Amino acid sequence: VKTTNDLSLGVVDVRPDILDGSRPACTVGLKHHGMLEFRDIDIYTTDCKPFSDTVCETVENALKIRNVKVTPVSLSNGTSEVDAIKILGQTGRKSILVTVRQWDAATFNQTKLRYELQLSVFDSDGKKLASKTVSGTEKTKRIVKQPMDYAQQFVGKLYKHKLEELFNDPEMAKQF
């Protein structure tokens, strides 16, 4: 991303299990545990912050490294795109909105990550300039020893790769 614009950045989490309160906002996955009696254990962000905050910090830091002036704007989980545009538009800047629709890693003897992330860019008047979504399911090979350690590396690499895929898309990059 190369730009001379000052950007506003918002991230909103719209995962259904977060919005209905069945899982906390810091949830990023699930560990299936036990041999005879299965129990599912939620996996959280390493700092127990909401996943949307983690995504916002990651994007903000990546943009700042590239000398892009970015102002993060706090958005509540479940904020609609219309409301997010209004909130981001109050800054009078071009805006970036990342929407987390799905992010769930499940691990037992392999890890399966289901994801859907959307990046949208808006001008200072709130007009959508471009939008891109990445979604899918990725899984590891079967891991017998230390599946959680391997899962952490696997999901971490995919997290970085999927955000880069959004921001480095040529059509999206033109809009910054």
Which residue reads 């471009």 in tokens?
130
Q: 23-27, 54-58, 105-109, 143-147: lowest mean pLDDT where?
A: 143-147
For the chain, the farthest-separated pair of C-alpha atoms sits apart, in whole angstroms, at 58
Q: Is the pLDDT of residue 38 over 80?
A: no
The C-alpha atoms of residue 3 and residue 7 are separated, in whole angstroms, by 9
Grade residue 49 by pLDDT with cuts at 50, 70 and 90.
very high
Give the confidence band of 33 by pLDDT, cuts at 50, 70, 90: low
Of residues 159 and 99, more confidence is placed in 99
C-alpha dist (Å) from residue 84 to 55, 63, 90: 16, 20, 10
Sorting pLDDT into bands at 50, 70 and 90, what band is 36? low
DSSP 67-93: T--EEE----TT--HHHHHHHHHTT-S
Separation CA 137–CA 144 (nearest Å): 21
Please check whether residue 70 is in contact with residue 48, taking contact to mean a CB–CB distance below 8 angstroms. no
| pLDDT for 72 beyond 90 | yes
The two structure tokens encoding residue 80: 């609609």
Tell me: pLDDT of 144 over 60.
Answer: no
pLDDT at 39: 63
75-84, 138-147, 156-165: range with lowest mean pLDDT: 138-147
Query: In the predicted model, what is the mean pLDDT of the chain?
Result: 86
Q: What is the CA radius of gyration of the chain?
A: 17
Is the Cβ–Cβ distance between 6 and 64 less than 8 Å? no
8-state DSSP, 121: E
- 123 has a pLDDT exceeding 90: yes
Mean pLDDT of 79-87: 95
| pLDDT of 40 strictly over 90 | no
In the chain, the percentage of residues whose pLDDT exceeds 90 is 55
Compute the residue count for the chain: 176
Residue 138 has pLDDT above 70, yes or no: yes
CB 107 within 8 A of CB 148: yes
Q: Average pLDDT of 157-164?
A: 89
The better pLDDT of the pair 10, 145 is held by 10
Q: Reduce the DSSP state of residue 23 to 3 states and report it.
A: coil
